[in-house]
């Protein structure tokens, strides 16, 4: 087999700043293309505004409902006028993204944290295309960063940069902490995307409380090898969040079956809880493109 040595890049192009810009640009291009070519209109139909707001008054036309008549204007002008309303479309979209150490895992196309960043980028560009505001909460076992919601492409690029390159101080995961903080800082109703691998417990009560106040969507990021290990003999694993070391015989069928059964039960429990509290749920795999999954999700919401 022949190997060809790649011509080295100029030193200035390999600086940390250049690498940040390169990766942000890559995700920007992929995300914008996906928004323009695949998802035009689906996002808007899936996420509605906060209701109807008064627009103007106009002359009564045959077929208008009598309850819409503005009697004050009608009396003043001497003939019927009705109130006209438009949908209050503008939304606030907040991404609550788990950046604990387990996000550094990935055996397929990319790491879990990279898949999460790309997914959030697509949703964020959909949002600003509809003039929605976008905000970001990064969390581990603590709140790592809050980016208040704003509009515009420049703001979304900053959100992508933070998703890719922010260095957390915590290792573990506390979804409760993220939800409590979100409810405290975001007062008006918002669309909230909770993006995590959900390696956490005892957050269901706050999940329910949050979804009563906001429109909460849970998105699980997972890697195939978390469910099924290849047969590589004895493997030493280090838990990235607790640093606990464990040796596993990956060829042990009994262990693999028990491991898969435990994960299956945990996932079923999680999905059942999401359904119980009316929280929309989407599962994204690191090994494949997520456009189709996102489109199916949008269409299901639209049909409801």
Sign of CA dihedral 45, 50, 55, 57: positive
Is residue 51 left, alpha or beta, with left meaning phi > 0 and alpha meaning psi from -120 to 50? left
pLDDT score of 163 more than 80: yes
Distance CA 255, CA 24 (A): 41
Question: What is the average pLDDT score of the chain?
Answer: 80
Which of 153-167, 174-188, 248-262, 275-289 has the weakest average pLDDT?
A: 248-262
- pLDDT over 90, % of the chain: 31
Alpha helix segments (H runs only) across 214-288: 224-227, 253-277
Specify whether the CB–CB gap between 156 and 162 falls below 8 A: no
Encode pLDDT of 38-76 as tens digits. Answer: 565 666 667 765 555 555 788 888 777 777 888 888 888
Name the range with the highest mean pLDDT among 21-25, 225-229, 279-283.
Answer: 279-283
Encode pLDDT of 254-274 as tens digits. Answer: 767 776 777 778 888 889 999
Work out the average pLDDT over 278-289.
88
pLDDT score of 239 more than 70: no
| DSSP state at residue 56 | E
Which of 10-19, 102-111, 236-245, 277-286 has the weakest average pLDDT?
A: 10-19
Which of 26-40, 91-105, 179-193 has the weakest average pLDDT?
A: 26-40
Name the pLDDT band for 2 (thresholds 50, 70, 90): very low
164 versus 18: which is more confidently predicted?
Answer: 164
Residue recorded with tokens 């949008």: 298
Q: How high is the pLDDT of residue 12?
A: 45
Q: Which sequence spans correspond to the domains of the chain? A: 17-45+89-228+261-303, 50-88
Q: CA nearest 96: which of 38, 26, 151, 174?
A: 174
17-45+89-228+261-303 CATH, one of 3.40.50.300, 3.65.10.10, 3.40.50.410, 3.90.1660.10: 3.40.50.410
Distance CA 106, CA 98 (A): 15
Residue 195 half-sphere exposure toward CB, CA atoms < 13 A: 27
Q: How high is the pLDDT of residue 289?
A: 80
pLDDT score of 94 more than 60: yes
Q: How high is the pLDDT of residue 303?
A: 73
Q: CA nearest 139: which of 162, 165, 170?
A: 170
């Amino acid at each position: 087999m022949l190997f060809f040595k790649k011509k080295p890049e100029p030193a200035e192009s390999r600086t940390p700043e250049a690498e940040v810009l390169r990766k942000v640009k890559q995700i920007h291009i992929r995300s914008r293309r996906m928004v323009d070519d695949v998802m035009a209109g689906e996002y808007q139909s899936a996420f509605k505004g906060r209701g109807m707001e008064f627009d103007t008054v106009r002359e009564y036309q045959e077929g208008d409902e009598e309850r819409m008549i503005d009697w004050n204007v009608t009396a003043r002008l001497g003939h019927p006028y009705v109130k006209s309303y438009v949908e209050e479309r503008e939304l606030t979209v907040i991404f609550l993204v788990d950046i604990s150490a387990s996000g550094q895992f990935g055996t397929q196309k990319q790491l879990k944290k990279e898949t999460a960043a790309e997914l959030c980028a697509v949703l964020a560009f959909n949002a600003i295309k509809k003039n929605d505001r976008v905000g970001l909460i990064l969390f581990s076992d603590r709140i790592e960063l809050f980016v208040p919601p704003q509009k515009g492409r420049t703001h979304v690029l900053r959100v992508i940069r933070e998703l890719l390159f922010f260095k957390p101080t915590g290792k573990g995961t506390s979804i409760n902490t993220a939800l409590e903080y979100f409810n405290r800082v975001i007062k008006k109703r918002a669309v909230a995307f909770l993006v995590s691998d959900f390696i956490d417990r005892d957050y269901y009560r706050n999940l329910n409380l949050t979804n009563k106040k906001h429109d909460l969507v849970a998105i699980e990021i997972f890697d195939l090898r978390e469910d099924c290990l290849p047969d590589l003999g004895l493997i030493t694993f280090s838990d990235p969040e607790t640093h606990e070391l464990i040796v596993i015989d990956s060829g042990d069928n009994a262990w693999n079956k028990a491991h898969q059964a435990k994960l299956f039960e945990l996932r079923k429990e999680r999905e059942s809880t999401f359904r119980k509290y009316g929280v929309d749920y989407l599962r994204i795999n690191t090994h494949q493109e997520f456009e189709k999954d996102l489109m199916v999700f949008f269409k299901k919401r639209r049909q409801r």
